[in-house]
Copies of this chain bind each other. A is one copy, B any other.
Amino acid sequence: MAEKFSIPKGTRDFNPQEMVRRNFIFNAIRRVFESYGYVSIETPAMENLSTLMGKYGEEGDRLLFKILNSGNYLTGISKDDITDDNLNALTLKIAEKGLRYDLTVPFARFIVQHRNEITFPFKRYQMQPVWRADKPQKGRYREFYQCDVDVIGSDSLLNEVELVQIIHDVFASLNTAVTTRLNNRKILAGIAEVIGMTDRFTDLTVALDKLDKTGQEQVMAELSSKGFSAGSVSKLKPFMNVTRNFEEKASFLQEHLKISPTGIQGLGEMMTIFDRLKAAGINDGVELDITLARGLNYYTGTIFEVKAEEVEIGSLCGGGRYDDLTGIFGLPGVSGVGISFGADRIYDVLLALNRFPDDYQAGSRILFVNFGETEEKFCLPLASKLRKSGISAEIYPDAAKLKKQMKYADDKKIPFVALIGENEMRSGLLTVKEMKTGEQRELSVDQLIDEII
């Protein structure tokens, strides 16, 4: 029996309080996205596996949740097909659909499928769950929400500026201090060129990505073990030591990347972005971090990463520019840039910092105590009137003991209780109790509305 009560591991139920808090985050993010003119789309939870497979690497293919074909999925499959050796091929025969793994690949598919209906540049946001058959652990779930915002069909750096503004506005409205770190894959390519390791670009970025967690010595050790020469590694060292302000970093790079046109181009892009950010009034909380790498290989320009200042936790938001996302679906040469907010981590940060607003409460503002049939009928139109004024109100469904009804209001944190008996029905003045203070007052309906709205 116990099994029936549980949900699949790595998934979660959200109770009313969690929902209120999650929606506080989603609404804040949505409001900011919309204030910049982004519009929302939604794509189905299921995509054809032909759309999803091969887009996330071998590991990603393995982590896709696959949906068994309806009806007799064994039709056309011979016994010889069914062996452990042949598992991947068999899987594709009995499962044609999978749950989406992220919002980026479905978005690319959406653009290609609907390209004739879309006006470019297309500024879209998307807030939906994704599913990954990852090993569940603290803070890692098999179903979680992503909040993506992308602009596609424009290579203007103003888009990057706007995304940094969006990050700034979102966390300002969540009252949470963050640092946004920016880098550019072209700067990284320049560094690879300068240390003579252009052909080992991926190894370099994979190692650099860990600088934050493991430190310089470890990064250098990893590179050496991967066959980077002592000369290359020592040439890399100064790049890992640049910790000054933007202007100083820029002049360091101007000097050290001068042999790499790609690197200098990347630097130029960063200078434009920082120049425009200044014009937009954003001077703090953004820095150039030339060791920021981020794993995803499809990034080609600016990369973004956002960390909380007051809590030790992974990145709250990240993204980058990609020059050929839709190429895999037959529409090459469309540049885009986007970032993704991790609602679950943001939730954990706000919870740790106690930043959820107190008054952001679910449920009724007022409970009408039920003293019986006559009182119930008297209260029905009153409750309707309150609702029309924007006040959520409910009548206790039974003429239960007063103590029970008051406990209900207390348990549900309903802030006001109306006690309407014979006297109140006669006078038209309602006895209203404020639960927090215990204070009781007699108010007309209109006074009540003014008081508790």
Contacts and interface: CB of A to CB of B under 8 A. Distances in A.
A330 B15 contact: no
Interface stretch (A263-271, A310-318, A379-387): A379-387
Contacts of A42: 13-14, 19
Contacts of A3: 48, 50
A123 B70 CA distance: 36
Of listed A6, A37, A114, A395, residue having the most chain B CB within 10 A: A37
A44 B5 CA distance: 13
A2 to B, nearest CB: 9
Contact of A394 (B37, B83, B129, B275): B37
Contact of A113 (B6, B95, B411): B6
Contacts of A44: 7-8, 11-13, 143
Contact of A67 (B14, B50, B67): B67
A398 interface: yes
Interface of A is mostly: mixed
Interface string A32-51: 00111101111111111011
A275 B373 CA distance: 11
B397 A156 contact: yes
A45 B131 contact: yes
A41 to B, nearest CB: 6
Contacts of A245: none
A423 to B, nearest CB: 20
A43 B408 contact: no
A279 interface: yes
A162 B370 CA distance: 14
A364 B4 CA distance: 48
B37 A15 contact: no
Contact of A68 (B1, B46, B94): B94
A119 interface: yes
Q: Name, among A8, A96, A169, A363, the residue most crowded by chain B CB atoms within 10 Å (CB to CB).
A: A8
A289 B332 CA distance: 60
Interface in A234-290: 275-276, 279-281
A219 B124 CA distance: 52
Contacts of A279: 376-378, 380-381
A158 interface: yes
A352 interface: no
Nearest to A94: B68
A4 B51 contact: yes
A36 B7 CA distance: 29
Interface in A146-188: 151, 154, 156, 158-159, 161-162, 165, 169
Contact of A377 (B1, B169, B276, B414): B276
Interface in A90-121: 90-91, 94-97, 99, 109-110, 112-114, 117, 119, 121
Residue from A6, A41, A44, A82 having most chain B Cβ neighbours under 10 A: A44
Contact of A47 (B7, B41, B276): B7
A165 B381 CA distance: 11
A185 to B, nearest CB: 20
A87 interface: yes
Contacts of A121: 397, 408
A82 B82 contact: yes
Contacts of A304: none
B65 A65 contact: no
Given A1-B330, A37-B393, A275-B377, 19 more contacts: A7-B46, A7-B113, A8-B44, A13-B42, A14-B43, A35-B390, A35-B393, A36-B393, A37-B392, A73-B87, A74-B84, A79-B82, A121-B397, A123-B363, A123-B394, A158-B397, A158-B398, A161-B380, A162-B394
Q: Which 10 A-B pairs have the closest CB atoms?
A: A37-B364, A156-B397, A11-B44, A16-B39, A37-B394, A279-B377, A280-B380, A119-B411, A70-B133, A35-B387
12 contacts: A1-B330, A3-B48, A4-B51, A4-B329, A4-B330, A35-B392, A46-B65, A62-B70, A66-B67, A74-B87, A162-B394, A279-B377
